[in-house]
Amino acid sequence: MKLLLTSAGISNTSIRNALVDLLGKPIAEASALFVPTAIYALSGGADIARKVIGGSLGDPFCELGWKSLGVLELTALPSIKQALWVPMLQETDALLVGGGDCQYLSYWMQHSGLAALLPSLLRKTVYVGLSAGSMIMTRFGTTYGCHTLPAESDKSLGLVDFALHPHLDHEWFPENSLANLEKLAATISVPSYAIDDQTAIKVTDDTIEVVSEGNWKLFT
């Protein structure tokens, strides 16, 4: 399993180097698929998705110079044959999963059938998460305003045995102060990483590495 769980994307050289290491080749020689689904649960989500794909919003993610880039919309998958999209997934080098609402993303990961494929898919493909796209792989997720799903819907997939709290001390998210995240971490039964937008968690099978040019803290 190869994961790069970022707070805001490929925001610095260290995180970019970690991605290249996981890919085993230059980004210019790698193919990628972008999953925008989580963004649609936010106000103005369609426009945000456009800006992320075009590279005009946030840190580099889709616009990294990939050899090829496609869009994989999870809400469409249940209505089309798996033979049309599973081979495409199996052939891609990186799966880029964008931010937004954890609960909405987790629901469509499972409802589309992608969640069931991830354990085998990630033997080869690198999973690159951004914010909610990172959080759903862990043991903890939050909702950022999705009111379309039952309250008991899963907010994460739990593929790794820790929690992740992105956007540490970000001006847009005043609730993400170190003091507040420490209180939150105390309510969770697994270790928690609080990371800022210059930090990522690199997971290679059972090995966890913090890649950072910023601030982070592990709560045990």
Give the relative orientation of helices 82-91 and 114-121 as an angle to the nearest 10 degrees.
30
| CA separation for the pair 176, 194 (Å, rounded) | 9
Residue 179, classified by CB atoms within 10 Å of its CB into exposed (0-12), middle (13-18) or buried (19+), is exposed
H helix count then E strand count, the chain? 7, 10
Helix (H) or strand (E) holding 191: none
Q: Is the pLDDT of residue 145 over 50?
A: no
Under the banding of pLDDT at 50, 70 and 90, the label for residue 156 is confident
Contact 153, 103 (CB under 8 A): yes
Contact 109, 115 (CB under 8 A): yes
Determine the average pLDDT of the residues in 1-21. 97
Domains and CATH numbers, the chain: 2-155+197-213 (3.40.50.880)
For 166-190, write each residue's pLDDT tens digit. 999 999 888 999 999 999 999 999 9
Per the model's pLDDT, the better-predicted residue between 87 and 141 turns out to be 87
Determine the average pLDDT of the residues in 127-138. 96
**Residue 172: its pLDDT value, please?**
87
Q: Is the pLDDT of residue 126 over 80?
A: yes
Going 84 to 85 to 87 to 92, the CA torsion angle's sign is positive
For 93-117, write each residue's pLDDT tens digit. 999 999 999 999 999 999 999 999 9
Determine the average pLDDT of the residues in 49-77. 93
Under the banding of pLDDT at 50, 70 and 90, the label for residue 21 is very high
**Residue 139: its pLDDT value, please?**
85
Q: Which residues sit opposite 216 in a β-bridge?
A: 195
| CA separation for the pair 52, 26 (Å, rounded) | 22
Contact 190, 139 (CB under 8 A): yes
**Residue 142: its pLDDT value, please?**
63
Closest CA to 20 of 65, 51, 77: 65
Total-model pTM: 0.93
